Amino acid sequence: MAILVGAGLWLSSAVAAQSPFVAAKPTTIESKRASSPHRFLDFQGKIANGANLGLATLDAVGTCRTLAAGGVEHWLPTQRCGPASAFLAGGVALDIGIAYIFHRTGHHKLERIMEIAGSADSLYGVAHTTTHGGRW
């Protein structure tokens, strides 16, 4: 059944393409990249990514000081300062990278959501460290 429907659609499009009554299709196709309404690091992007980086730095400082004082980090796969800081920096880079991919593919609302979600994730880390007796 599906083969018959597909063949019928193909045949009708072939007949319509030869008909003199069908309007010609435009030859230019606009790219989503060409119609981008903003730059990736515009003012809002700089603020959001800067907030993410600042909060992640504050989270890394709190995590390192807590670990140095004998505390335990529950959410990271390591209990040493260097790897924990690298893990947090990788998270920020991943947030910015995913936002950039959304920007390049024309998904600008998802880009902004990703930038804000990255900041919220870092803010959660700071709040968790503060409420669970972290050292500052």
- Whether residue 29 is contained in a domain is answered as no
Nearest CA-CA partner of 57 in 84, 77, 80, 78: 84
Q: Is residue 31 part of a domain?
A: no
Identify which has the larger pLDDT, 109 or 5.
109
Residue 82 covered by a domain: yes
Residue-wise pLDDT tens digits, 83-123: 999 999 999 999 999 999 999 999 999 999 999 999 999 99
d(CA 62, CA 136): 6
- The answer as to whether 116 is a domain residue is yes
Domain total for the chain?
Answer: 1
- Per the CB < 8 A criterion, the answer to whether 103 and 40 are in contact is yes
pLDDT band at 75 (very low <50, low <70, confident <90, very high): confident
Q: With 70 as the cut, is the pLDDT of residue 1 above it?
A: no
- Domain, as residue range, for 45: 37-131
Average pLDDT of the chain is 81
Residue 66 lies in a domain: yes
Q: Kindly state whether residue 75 falls inside one of the protein's structural domains.
A: yes
